[in-house]
Structure 1
């Protein structure tokens, strides 16, 4: 296909032209807009289908929604003054706190005037003749831009499992990522499907207010206390005083979580000391701290992993009063998924109004008009059914937009064997399209990784503008090379031996693939720096043609 239908629209008189179009107004879209508009002087427009900024934190308003990164590193580091001014009050951040912060950043930097809300992008196609992207919105408007930046988020495309009878249910159905403001749970019979990070949070939060809560558990989880609470004035002052040292450590670390990751082998200490270290981490709280600050090999060595498993299972037996419920809650798989933390998850099952259904042993047979019928013939009657069933992660939102690159190739076809990228920010055959948190990016606390990628992409765009280059894309083979690197690293960990959304296992029919670079943020930054130093090694550029109708328009 030499000339696509969409490419013919390049001649439309009603097309609105920008230097760059950004899809998404979460952490990535906000910072990308700031960099391109205020530092490179480009004419930029960011679009988001939501009615407000915030990305995942706009949509995920479910009870109990909480960051699992600590407040002093779950923010933008680039606004140094704001880091000093902002009132940090708690160790972790609730959804309203994060959304308030993001709105403040947008207002503080006057970004709102260049963000178009309640506008979904329906299609985007690269016009090869003019080296630009042609973008259409769901309200029928047409745009073009030299650069397209996708800041779609890793966890945005909601997943609702295809369960028999789904449409029969006569009560209220909610997905945690589309939580309505008028959701009423008080005194209701509520069922929750899903016990991942979101499930643990919402189950713990709503149990005290619902009439009865039935938890439908497919996979038992290892989760540790979050340890949230108010921060002392001394702690807050210490964070602000040590701003530079903290963020240097974050950028040089593996997880970007704001703590020093242990290098001590689990089995190098006595059983007693090991128990004490685990207990101390349990008391302090934090899922990532428990897995990575205690010892350095829990994620890579099976014997070390079993030691951590045994400790958490012992805690479940200690906390949960009913032995049969405790048995159902105890995981038997490797402790090698996203490390979870909670605000009293296991203790919630001691409540008289909470019951647990193990749907691995007793599967859901059908959703009925009254509730859920399990394989044992029991119909669990419900007023409200909550899906805490996660997302079609990483590439899910890309597949929901008709994105086409060279020769009209769709990104769905390009990624039919699993999503891939070169350095997480670019993909072959899609020139001038830059991804923030694209496939095979670092598995870390996200804001520092977002900053890393946004700054690198901004530098590359600045390089193109300075050198009058029309377009850029990875050299053939570089995408596969990066995928192999990510696969090699992932296979050195125990994460690759479990079924997890990290590898696409939560979506039926989705290729089981590597979706993350697990070498850490520090190593990832070094790779990006070396590519940039070597004149953007692995990328090919095309100079501007004077006949390009968009190049002739001049700088806006």
Structure 2
């Protein structure tokens, strides 16, 4: 018997993940009358905002663009409380969406997809779950997110620690009692920064193990009253269109002028104005040359370094917190709230792990080359296997039984617009490699665009009386070459980061996100659709 015949359940589409992309995929495909089954490993909806409930977890895109646009009623009835909402508010919003559109009836929780195999004879996928279920679907959509496979530090003896170890992406719903405890945290990326600034005043002692300091931007986070919300709602139609055309899917975009065409005094005024906005505007709303021109990047970098030093009392500590060996914006730029002031506290110790490397974890704590740091709790803000991790963790087998992770390991990562892969008909992905959503986009903007494209593509296949669609090898090679050409024009590959896969041992070093901008990407996706999916093969 074939895998399809053995499958106990038949649906039109299986969607993996019940976050922003998964829920919207369910909504869009149900609109077409398709029977859809969503599988979600967690006990509730929310994706990132279900799993990442660590202290201080907060959105760093403005609430008024970090939302769905498909329903005017939803836009009218949901009231954001502040410019950058905390985790619990965003999770409540996504639960509201699930209830408002009756999505839960097609979501099976506490179920992890472990394998999927394509059957060429039936042109269907057989999807297997961790509880032994098997379901047959014509269309298979991986809405598993780009930052959803946590990485633990590869430290000898970590299993010997007698205290508690917790990864920020696996934070218990009931929380962790940190009051008065000796706490260590590994990692000072966006997540680590949010944790550190939040718990510094609560713990007995905090030891921060930092490998690479970050450039950051101070967050300005005003509360919203009814008048402010009414003003924002009046702008929603404009914002809905605006975010589709900008580089990073935000409501702001780069200056039309070139950096060195502006006189030095005016440049400084512009930088200060962007800085004072208290958002990512300073990074992706200033001058585009920050990504391409080392001299421009150096001016941005120096500006931020000076702002950091102004806030740290001890010059020696400031030296550790100020990035020196890479340029601003070539790594993920976090927003922060009194992060640097945490290091002015007597109960906070900054450990530079490049100067004094971590050697092992003992029963009592972490031993560096300089000695033992005794801990009660160890927090790992050590990031994710970004972009590819959630896709390669599942045994996805396409034509001729070829395993996706083996194909990528042998030939390098390949996708067509980060939406499909040659040799895997009817497999669709969101936030996958070689799309802006992989790193350089306000996630809801790009995920909604990708899901809209996927839904339209499926509708096209059905309208044509066909059963499957995939990119040709030639179209895929063309997209990969285009992606690589743009990536190599930027300064990003000069810096080690999760953008480049550098945080995962043995992972090939390559920029995962499309650097052409969300607006350009959308236009290219629309061109493909308007051409009748030229470069794609239907059967």
Same fold per TM (> 0.5)?
yes
Instruction: Please state if 1:64 is matched with 2:56.
Output: yes
Unaligned runs of 5+ in 2: none
Rounded to whole Å, the distance in 1 between the matches of 2:447 and 2:211 is 32
Tell me the CA shift for residue 119 of structure 1. Answer: 0.6
Deviations 1:152-171 (A, max 9, x none): 10100101121111111110
Deviations 1:228-256 (A, max 9, x none): 12135443222211211111111011111
Give the length in aligned residue pairs.
532
Q: How does 1:224-243 map to 2 (within 5 A)?
A: 224-243=217-236
Show the counterpart of 2:126: 134
Show the counterpart of 1:548: none
Residue of 403, 412, 432 corresponding to 1:438: 432
Show the counterpart of 1:204: 197
Show the counterpart of 1:244: 237
Show the counterpart of 1:108: 100
Q: Aligned Cα RMSD in Å? A: 1.3
Instruction: Give the conservation status (yes or no) of the 8 Å contact 1:263–1:297.
Output: no
Rounded to whole Å, the distance in 2 between the matches of 1:271 and 1:354 is 39
Instruction: Give the conservation status (yes or no) of the 8 Å contact 2:483–2:515.
Output: yes
Q: Secondary structure at the match of 2:468?
A: strand
Instruction: Give the conservation status (yes or no) of the 8 Å contact 1:320–1:350.
Output: yes
Q: How does 1:384-423 map to 2 (within 5 A)?
A: 384-416=377-409, 417-423=411-417
Instruction: Give the conservation status (yes or no) of the 8 Å contact 1:418–1:513.
Output: no
Show the counterpart of 1:546: none
Show the counterpart of 1:3: none
Instruction: Give the conservation status (yes or no) of the 8 Å contact 1:239–1:246.
Output: no
Show the counterpart of 2:186: 193
Rounded to whole Å, the distance in 2 between the matches of 1:228 and 1:254 is 23
Rounded to whole Å, the distance in 1 between the matches of 2:528 and 2:98 is 31
Rounded to whole Å, the distance in 1 between the matches of 2:145 and 2:104 is 19
Instruction: Give the conservation status (yes or no) of the 8 Å contact 2:4–2:124.
Output: no
Q: How does 1:517-532 map to 2 (within 5 A)?
A: 517-532=514-529
Show the counterpart of 2:116: 124
Q: Secondary structure at the match of 1:470?
A: coil
Rounded to whole Å, the distance in 2 between the matches of 1:480 and 1:354 is 50
Deviations 1:408-444 (A, max 9, x none): 1101111115432111110011111111122111121
Q: How does 1:27-106 map to 2 (within 5 A)?
A: 27-37=20-30, 39-106=31-98
Instruction: Give the conservation status (yes or no) of the 8 Å contact 2:247–2:284.
Output: no
Deviations 1:437-491 (A, max 9, x none): 2211112101011111111110111111122211111111222221111111111
Q: Secondary structure at the match of 1:25?
A: coil
The farther-off stretch of 471-480 and 209-218 is: 471-480
Q: Secondary structure at the match of 2:383?
A: coil
Give the TM-score taking structure 2 as reference length.
0.96
Deviations 1:372-422 (A, max 9, x none): 11112x100000001101000011011211111111110111111543211
Deviations 1:122-156 (A, max 9, x none): 11100111110011111111110011011010100
Deviations 1:72-110 (A, max 9, x none): 000001112211221122011111011000000010000
Residue of 267, 275, 296 corresponding to 1:274: 267
Show the counterpart of 2:215: 222
Rounded to whole Å, the distance in 2 between the matches of 1:211 and 1:264 is 50
Tell me the CA shift for residue 365 of structure 1. Answer: 0.8
Rounded to whole Å, the distance in 2 between the matches of 1:102 and 1:451 is 14
Rounded to whole Å, the distance in 2 between the matches of 1:373 and 1:426 is 45
Instruction: Give the conservation status (yes or no) of the 8 Å contact 1:23–1:150.
Output: yes
Deviations 1:35-56 (A, max 9, x none): 111x210111000111101111
Instruction: Give the conservation status (yes or no) of the 8 Å contact 2:3–2:119.
Output: no
Residues 87 and 253 (structure 1), Cα distance of their counterparts in 2 relative to 1, 3 Å cut: same
Q: Secondary structure at the match of 1:126?
A: strand
Instruction: Give the conservation status (yes or no) of the 8 Å contact 1:215–1:356.
Output: yes
Rounded to whole Å, the distance in 1 between the matches of 2:180 and 2:257 is 49
Show the counterpart of 1:177: 169
Show the counterpart of 2:503: 506
